[in-house]
Amino acid sequence: MQRDDLILISVDDHIIEPPDIFVNHLPQRYQDDAPRLVHRDDGSDVWQFRDNTVGNAALNAVAGRPKEEYGLDPQGMDEIRPGCYDVHERVKDMNAGGVLAQMNFPSFPGFSARMFATEDSDFSLALVRAYNDWHIDEWCAAYPGRFIPMALPAIWDAELCAAEVRRVAAKGCHSLTFTENPAVLGYPSFHHEYWNPLWRALSDTDTVMSVHIGSSGRLAIPAVDSPPDVMITLQPMNLVSAAADLLWSRPIKDFPDLKIALSEGGTGWIPYFLERVDRTFEMHSTWTLQDFGGKLPSEVFREHFLTCFITDSLGVKLRHDIGIDNIAWEGDYPHSDSLWPDAPEQLHNVLESCSVSDSDARKMTHENAMRWYSFDPFAHIPREQATVGALRKAAEGHDVSIRSRSRQLTEPVDKLEAFRARARAATAAAQ
């Protein structure tokens, strides 16, 4: 398949939220206590909610910036591409990058919206609903067929969470962002029946639980003095643990329609993982009493789990060992792993080097995403206008140049020290 003929749907990108997300959807009685974006004297912009302050680390919004400006420095909204927070500019960036559609994870509330879990459950639920309504009714609805809607969970209450899944599913949203380890956040584990209402709601509404790396907030580093390269290398490993935890859990057996996406976890590790779970079952199921109804764990994995990759050439080579119907592409805009605006070139190189057939390419680049997330962009956009070539033609003249945006330009040694300070703080909080 030629590069310009690819149709790209990404199942993992991110929003840097604009300041007005609660204006139209949060009841007036809660407006004064809502999270708000605060501009600081140092030029950075941070979200403030009660005692919580969340900045925008410079690995989260580096699209269009040189690698020298990557790091963990706080930054202002004027230092990042408008496409990070402005839906109209986002679509222009998508067109220029040849991407038909995206699914956008949240930023400041966290992947599990734990920030919104207050002592007042009604207020917390109002925040979750307001965010979800903004995301579905404003961000996604601004350009039908260009975004896969995603909802935040009411993670502090399984019944409320289930009700919210059903509410947003009625609005056409079939993706729920969730933590890869609720026990780390102080909630019951996946093995507890507490979550049964959620599993039932997800199954009933054909909604995917999209589990993103780092969604428990736990830093994947072995020591506080480790370089940041260690954390970045190990980030997908949290999802290996989550995949094992969920595959061996009771919900997988009790809810045959349950679907889980391992977002930004890569795919190269999956073949060994499947080999290992089958071996574990063969050797130990007689005393661990695991029973998959006559199936192997690897078979059950393929029934329930979607795996995702950016440029994972090893995973693409082993696509049939993973399951060609269980792989979807992700762009990760505007994070540091993103290939924007050159994702089509780099992805096409991977597909060619791995001798991927047109049929397999279509599944991994858009068909699997459409099927798993009950998403049909072609109801709004003719297929001939959805290709890389057509989208880029529509974006002719749009600036995609790499240029400096930072006003801080800290030295690498300062960035390393900032990372280690965060690691020490996270370790102290965990203790």
Report the CATH number at residue 37.
3.20.20.140
Name the one residue in this structure whose structure tokens are 């990058």.
97
Q: In the predicted model, what is the mean pLDDT of residues 261-277? A: 95
* 186 and 117 Cβ atoms separated by less than 8 Å: no
- Which H helix or E strand runs over 209? strand 208-212
Q: Per-residue confidence at 431, pLDDT binned at 50, 70, 90?
A: very low
* pLDDT for residue 429: 47
What is the per-residue pLDDT across 301-322, written as a single tens digit (0 to 9) for each? 999 999 999 989 999 999 999 9
* pLDDT for residue 200: 98
SS3 of residue 261 by DSSP: strand
Q: When comparing pLDDT for 169 and 428, which is higher? A: 169
Q: Which domain holds residue 314?
A: 3-430
Count how many domains the chain has: 1
Q: In the predicted model, what is the mean pLDDT of residues 242-256? A: 95
What is the per-residue pLDDT across 384-396, written as a single tens digit (0 to 9) for each? 999 999 999 999 9
What is the per-residue pLDDT across 318-340, written as a single tens digit (0 to 9) for each? 999 999 999 999 999 998 889 99
The DSSP secondary structure of 378-400, one letter per residue, reads GGTS-GGGSSHHHHHHHTTT---
Contacts of 33 (CB under 8 A, 6+ apart): 50, 123
Q: In the predicted model, what is the mean pLDDT of residues 278-285? A: 96
* pLDDT for residue 54: 83
**Do you find a cis peptide bond into 106, omega within 30 degrees of 0?**
no
Q: Average pLDDT over the chain, rounded to whole?
A: 90
What is the per-residue pLDDT across 46-83, written as a single tens digit (0 to 9) for each? 999 998 888 776 567 778 877 777 765 557 888 889 99
In sequence order, the β-bridge partners of residue 343 are: none
> How crowded is residue 325: how many other Cβ atoms within 10 Å of its Cβ?
16
* pLDDT for residue 427: 47
Q: In the predicted model, what is the mean pLDDT of residues 356-379? A: 98
What is the per-residue pLDDT across 194-236, written as a single tens digit (0 to 9) for each? 999 999 999 999 999 999 987 765 544 555 567 777 777 777 7
Q: What is the pTM of this model?
A: 0.92
Q: Is the pLDDT of residue 408 over 70?
A: no
CA–CA distance, 90 with 71 (Å, rounded to integer): 23
Q: Is the pLDDT of residue 430 over 50?
A: no
Q: When comparing pLDDT for 240 and 167, which is higher? A: 167
* pLDDT for residue 410: 54
SS3 of residue 150 by DSSP: coil
Proportion of the chain above pLDDT 70, given as a percent: 90
Q: In the predicted model, what is the mean pLDDT of residues 95-116? A: 95
370: closest CA among 357, 354, 381?
A: 381
* pLDDT for residue 24: 95
* pLDDT for residue 74: 54
Q: What are phi and psi of 329, to 5 degrees?
A: -90, 150
Q: When comparing pLDDT for 149 and 403, which is higher? A: 149
Q: Per-residue confidence at 425, pLDDT binned at 50, 70, 90?
A: low
Proportion of the chain above pLDDT 90, given as a percent: 74
- Strands (E) in 142-207, as ranges, are 147-148, 175-178
CA 254, 283, 180, 301 dihedral sign is negative
- Cα-based distances in Å from 372 to 109, 124, 173, 247: 25, 29, 12, 18
* pLDDT for residue 223: 52
* 73 and 408 Cβ atoms separated by less than 8 Å: yes
Contacts of 119 (CB under 8 A, 6+ apart): none
